[in-house]
Structure 1
């Protein structure tokens, strides 16, 4: 006979808790709490859980801790994530470990997660960091559910309130674009000026432009292909795969930018560099010709340029944002902009540029009065 559960009790969070006892193989019992909006719902869930347990559908008692399971989850992610992304995952999961790491995976309750997030917020972890940590925590428990190590996901009802979002980035005005392009061309270091020009003219990410080799550019067709990125990880520059599969893309190069690239390529050939050797060379190098520029170089130069020109502060990423904004403002379809930007799907583009698209939509007004008016003859 299964052991009867306790009487349901009302909790401070507005839910009812019902505790059921599941018989283990050693003859003992394991107590499990289930929750419902009403006492009857909690009791029904508890009895359903007991029936599932008797049928062998409830996970058996497992001694592993959350910390141990999280480490194994991260080890599996190591096979699919770029090094920088994996480093971010480890940092964001690491926030949770001092609080949840020693606890048994099967014993973690929603209240434990809520208390952990509150403690992290008190430590100064911002909403973005909290949301990232919660997303990883949810993925970890979904994995545990799939492996039948837990019978429920304790993160399901937990949320992190999002703050009011500020504008994603500053889009340049056309006159600012013209001024900046002249400044990029006049920058003392060709590599830095041209890298900034490509970020604005093709919407490249900073790591994408620094990872370019001459072999990635088809100077005859006027196309550029993104195959890698140069990023900074733990103080060192490393080459990684593009951010997403969609980031591996081929883009048309504007004519004025293409002419500058052709001229630089011809200059290298005139200096005696062999074509095959040149194709394997990074375009934007510093003192060490075998390595791309330091990832901080472009932002450092852009700060100097904007200060000299009296233009409000810009990040390199704002050049990319301006490229997307200008495409949309000139009537480019959303799907094309998403493809050019290397976004994983158009919904990301829509979320980033929703403010601009909203302005565009408001400008399209249909006046029914005009439908009955005679049209002027051609």
Structure 2
């Protein structure tokens, strides 16, 4: 049985499953085809209520005609709704990628008519213009999230960004972990500058660049040898902003080795002397500062690390590579992956293993086994006394 209403007001129809489907007409496309909005409810009463609500929303302009929604309009609306849940730097990055890269290529398209081939064509155009795989990955993540929300709102039936693949790329310059000799060479060069202690501290703790810049003396308990990561500095549109760490797992308490505690005590004494002798000093409470006591600007550290490495004959080294170095040296020493992951503030050990684990040549050499070693009988396996009883049903444990 169908409950019909006046033209455009829609109807309610019972389905074979026993539920009720409501439907209204939103208008017509350029080919004269009806544009419909529909939904399903358990009872006729609920379906009728949903139909009336949808019709009222449409008449008030709150239910746009799907074929008339362009990618630009939808993505801008989606980002505005997403903003409260995003960190300032992430929001600024999303907004920039949308405005600069995604919308100029796909913004004029209608959301419902978007095809995987359209999305892939946009990716190829960006790649042909020389943009990195990282940039294209950001474009894909943003578009995929926006279209997923369009699916939830029943504006599209599928998320075409889920199936559109990125084009192939040649491998770019990979992240790098310095060897022990390279690390020593780098730190020797760093100690020729005012911020030598900072670089040793970063290699010793594996902190992110922004976490090191944000670190205050109040975040350190040198008596117990503890460091409390509570703040982070991010750079948004060239402006450094103090905020919370990158993720929940990035808020962490770290045990410091005695050597690092001594380093920090000596640095504190030197900082007090520098402050006493400075003509201008702004007391900010930060552990590492410029010559005026102000918080360090993260991008300046990146530039300094690159110059130090080049001058020391180490080639290209990013500041973030010091974090990779810390992780790889720890893992090469046999520190459990889970421990290193928590020290780095990663939410998943897979991030540590897949991105930060670099295997050194010495490890390959150490674990190069001959065929006779591989074929040698394995050592006796030790079993727990609490192991399950064998299949013969007898308990063979010694009394």
TM-score w.r.t. length of structure 1: 0.74
Stretch of structure 1 that moved more, 110-119 or 133-142: 110-119
- Cα deviation for residue 265 of structure 1 reads 3.1
- Change in Cα spacing, 1:259 to 1:304, as seen in structure 2 (3 Å) is same
The reply on whether 1:232 has 2:235 as its aligned counterpart is: yes
Considering only aligned residues, what root-mean-square deviation do their CA atoms show, in Å?
Answer: 3.7
- Cα deviation for residue 283 of structure 1 reads 1.6
Query: Tell me, what secondary structure is at the counterpart of 1:335?
Result: helix
Query: Tell me, what secondary structure is at the counterpart of 2:227?
Result: strand
Which residue of structure 2 aligns with residue 40 of structure 1? none
Q: What runs of 5+ residues in structure 2 fail to find an aligned partner? A: 1-22, 41-46, 52-62, 277-281, 381-399
Query: Tell me, what secondary structure is at the counterpart of 1:286?
Result: coil
- Change in Cα spacing, 1:176 to 1:122, as seen in structure 2 (3 Å) is closer
Of residues 66, 75, 78 in structure 1, which corresponds to 2:83?
A: 78
Query: Tell me, what secondary structure is at the counterpart of 1:230?
Result: strand
Question: Within 2, Cα distance between the matches of 1:272 and 1:346?
Answer: 42
Which residue of structure 2 aligns with residue 369 of structure 1? 376
Which residue of structure 2 aligns with residue 42 of structure 1? none
Provide runs of 4+ in structure 1 moved above 4 Å. Answer: 25-28, 49-52, 266-273, 357-362
Aligned residues: 328
Query: Tell me, what secondary structure is at the counterpart of 2:329?
Result: helix
Of residues 289, 302, 319 in structure 2, which corresponds to 1:285?
A: 289
Kept in 2, the 8 Å contact 1:106–1:149? The answer is yes
Of residues 157, 160, 167 in structure 2, which corresponds to 1:151?
A: 157
Question: Within 1, Cα distance between the matches of 2:96 and 2:353?
Answer: 29
Of residues 252, 257, 264 in structure 1, which corresponds to 2:255?
A: 252
Which residue of structure 2 aligns with residue 65 of structure 1? 70
- Change in Cα spacing, 1:271 to 1:227, as seen in structure 2 (3 Å) is same
Kept in 1, the 8 Å contact 2:25–2:35? The answer is no
The reply on whether 1:117 has 2:120 as its aligned counterpart is: no
Question: Within 1, Cα distance between the matches of 2:365 and 2:314?
Answer: 29
Which residue of structure 2 aligns with residue 327 of structure 1? 330
Kept in 1, the 8 Å contact 2:27–2:65? The answer is no
- Cα deviation for residue 51 of structure 1 reads 11
- Change in Cα spacing, 1:130 to 1:152, as seen in structure 2 (3 Å) is same
Kept in 1, the 8 Å contact 2:124–2:167? The answer is no
Q: What runs of 5+ residues in structure 1 fail to find an aligned partner? A: 1-21, 33-48, 374-378
Which residue of structure 1 aligns with residue 214 of structure 2? 211
- Change in Cα spacing, 1:357 to 1:234, as seen in structure 2 (3 Å) is same
Of residues 341, 348, 364 in structure 1, which corresponds to 2:351?
A: 348
Question: Within 2, Cα distance between the matches of 1:287 and 1:205?
Answer: 22
Which residue of structure 2 aligns with residue 24 of structure 1? 25
CA offset digits 1:120-166 (Å, max 9, x no partner): 33333333222221121111111111122222222232100342445
The reply on whether 1:135 has 2:136 as its aligned counterpart is: no
Question: Within 2, Cα distance between the matches of 1:271 and 1:173?
Answer: 33
- Change in Cα spacing, 1:181 to 1:208, as seen in structure 2 (3 Å) is same
Kept in 2, the 8 Å contact 1:208–1:229? The answer is yes
The reply on whether 1:316 has 2:319 as its aligned counterpart is: yes
Q: How does 1:166-177 map to 2 (within 5 A)?
A: 168-177=174-183
- Change in Cα spacing, 1:176 to 1:30, as seen in structure 2 (3 Å) is same
Which residue of structure 2 aligns with residue 10 of structure 1? none
Larger Rg, first or second structure (1 or 2): 2
CA offset digits 1:194-221 (Å, max 9, x no partner): 2211221111111110011111111111
Stretch of structure 1 that moved more, 202-211 or 168-177: 168-177
- Change in Cα spacing, 1:226 to 1:129, as seen in structure 2 (3 Å) is same
- Change in Cα spacing, 1:360 to 1:247, as seen in structure 2 (3 Å) is farther
- Change in Cα spacing, 1:334 to 1:360, as seen in structure 2 (3 Å) is farther
